Structure 1
């Protein structure tokens, strides 16, 4: 009886992995929530800076450049956050599917983080190419970011640095022997009890 209880008890690596997945999910909700709260002002600030530089703000819409993080831009982060949260709940519940799906999807999240990091690093050059050599793309980006409170920008930077590490940690934790043993399919105990009674 004690052995069965011990086997069913969730090991610490699984609990930590699931908690990290919930932190990961929360991190990916920062951008959508910020977009909903400040999006219109951010877009207006970017357009005002273009006007100050003597350019038409319509150049942004013409090239499908948005600073407000609205509409379809919300789909990817929200979907990522919901998926990570569901995987965390499955892992906390000891579902084998949760571990298997995590080991498949979490590396994809890691690649997504790398893509986001590289796109953020190159966004100034991307905007400069759109606006042309006479424009100051960095000033437009600075104007848009100035709308956000400082703590929110800091939280975004921390998220960008930590979520790849979280993905790696979750994968490693769920590959540990204790986690593998916890999710291993266990034989039902009822038939053995019945046979013992017989």
Structure 2
């Protein structure tokens, strides 16, 4: 008689849902960089044209390292976030304890990142205005740049912001539930 016992671990739905949410979170963070790659040059040109229309030197953007197009280091944060979230999802869906532990450490950092993004989006007009001076209309520059994107993209971006925040919080809660903790328990 064979005394070795083969255990089949069944992944609880809480872990499956958390993994799916992490993958959706990762996809959400790719929206802005992909849009920036596709529309970036046109967005930058629209911002510069609006500055010229206002009688300002469009070079003020470059002089202050303000870019409306996605490129270089501006791609690093969202793409890096998406890659990390996807890796964590893969580890969690595979039942790896390390993925669970890392998620409980990193996913709350993603919550903070989402808050930072919300704050930076809310203050972008004031930030640009500080470089342009009192005689400029920073809101018009941002509107000109934003109008280059298709309308649906701006709506998706707004929804993404809310959903990634909710997804991060939900992932943490799901992975702290007893079924998930038992699934990832050392030696389980």
TM-score bucket of the superposed structures, by smaller chain: over 0.9
Which structure 2 residues correspond to residues 101-180 of structure 1 after superposition, within 5 A? 101-180=102-181
* Shift of residue 185, structure 1, vs aligned partner: 2.2
RMSD value, Cα: 1.4
Is residue 39 of structure 2 the alignment partner of residue 38 of structure 1?
Answer: yes
* SS of residue matched to 1:76: helix
Q: Which has the larger radius of gyration?
A: 1
Distance of aligned partners of 1:150 and 1:2 in 2 relative to their CA distance in 1, 3 Å threshold: farther
Correspondence for 2:24: 23
* SS of residue matched to 2:79: helix
TM-score (norm 2): 0.96
* SS of residue matched to 1:69: coil
Correspondence for 2:94: 93
TM-score (norm 1): 0.91
Is residue 83 of structure 2 the alignment partner of residue 82 of structure 1?
Answer: yes
Q: Give the whole-Å Cα distance in 1 for the aligned partners of 2:5 and 2:86.
A: 32
Correspondence for 1:196: none
Aligned residues: 185
Where structure 2 has 5 or more consecutive residues not aligned to the other structure, the ranges are: none
Where structure 1 has 5 or more consecutive residues not aligned to the other structure, the ranges are: 188-198
Q: Name whichever structure is richer in helix by fraction.
A: 1
1:20-65 alpha-carbon deviations (Å, 9 max, x no partner): 0000000000011001000000000000000000000000000110
1:93-114 alpha-carbon deviations (Å, 9 max, x no partner): 0000000000000000000000
